[in-house]
A = this chain, B = another copy of it.
């Protein structure tokens, strides 16, 4: 698989990837000479390919040649016709259930046990949820004041995080699809890193009423502030400060303890991918996922449009027909959602993906799926649903980094691993994000933003297993509070873009 100038993934492939920019005339392999300049990450034809013939990478068909292609030609998105969408109605379930997962080097971490007995926290955060965007201005002013005046009093608390979002009013709250954003907010309130403390800020006249988010025994004056019941700005700020002080006091008494990895739930996501993502960063993440799953942890992976073209490979890994059926249903929902909007899966990839050598969504999907490793898929979740099983779980979310992140948070991940080829400074306030680059170039350039590079895999200086094991240790160290990823060090936080497929009114 290793070569100085190009990398071929599978024996049956008729294309390979340029490891670096290849000038025209370079002999990339015995007898194969580049007919054009070939940019880093882009494909070169390993043999003549006639118009209409299959173009193969990862051993799968990326598409069909739109023209005659000569050996040594540069192949980009303009030369490949997208194959038809894999059918969802005749998939095989459970035919590829791997049992020989690699043994994890350790089985415990240091986390915060949660009162509900569910997944543990890995940070000790006061999360303040809002029912509606209207209260954001007041809450942000209050949170600044809390961070300045209250947080220093409570050294065991890591942060105060407002859950600001665009939902809550001016929305069709009884629309069929409203269940998704409502579920997301209900579950965010109960995030493992928030230690079971509930603090909700409501306006008082919004469509998303507090009783849609809290159970009866939670919906009381100890947990909920309604701004319309307060006597103006000063009273609102004083009330928020007072409630935060009570919650912080309780959070401050929490201590880390040694817990089994089965108390850990993490998410995998990739963004700004390139042609190396699928052979370096994502498979390394997949290996780390296998180690975690083997040791009892729960690992979520997502991004519907980025697995759609490889969904039959996931179906084979579903533990049973029920799980497989839900996988198909989530894909069908998304097919229809895109169709209503007048688009299809070709709306992905991005210009940056294409610059990075990813010609179409099939190629992107094959790389994206690699981050799920080889474990069986024990459950499939609708967007922002909570898992009921431990192990590898497919959480069906949009592929948008900014929407997938909050969905996975709502599903309960306490940490996210984010693989990137082009580079993004992405981060979440409620959970640390570890960033893994697909290339060493990116790590060299963004040394203080990328936590780990998987680029040595391309040059042969490391194996997928080695980088994957490194990543496993970095995940456990981050969970235990020993390591802080760069995004956490610098406080790089993206907005919580809640997925709302229902109309705005």
Contacts and interface: CB of A to CB of B under 8 A. Distances in A.
A497 B181 CA distance: 15
Contacts of A487: 137
A351 B209 CA distance: 8
Contacts of A398: 170, 504-505
Query: In which size bucket is the chain A interface?
Result: 35 or more
Contact of A342 (B133, B175, B341): B175
A141 interface: yes
B340 A340 contact: yes
Report whether over half of chain A's contact residues are helix, strand or loop; otherwise say mixed: loop
Contacts of A401: 133-134, 169-170
Contact of A495 (B133, B228, B305, B486): B133
B494 A133 contact: yes
A386 interface: no
A231 interface: yes
Contacts of A427: 137
A487 B140 CA distance: 13
A106 interface: no
A503 interface: yes
Interface in A72-90: none
B138 A492 contact: yes
A252 interface: no
A364 to B, nearest CB: 11
B206 A445 contact: no
A164 B166 CA distance: 13
Contacts of A234: 448
A341 B177 contact: yes
Contacts of A280: none
Contacts of A447: 232
Interface of A: 133-138, 140-141, 164, 166, 169-177, 203-207, 209, 227-228, 231-234, 236, 271-272, 305, 337-338, 340-343, 345, 347-348, 350-353, 355-356, 398-404, 422-427, 445-449, 486-487, 490-495, 497, 499, 501-505
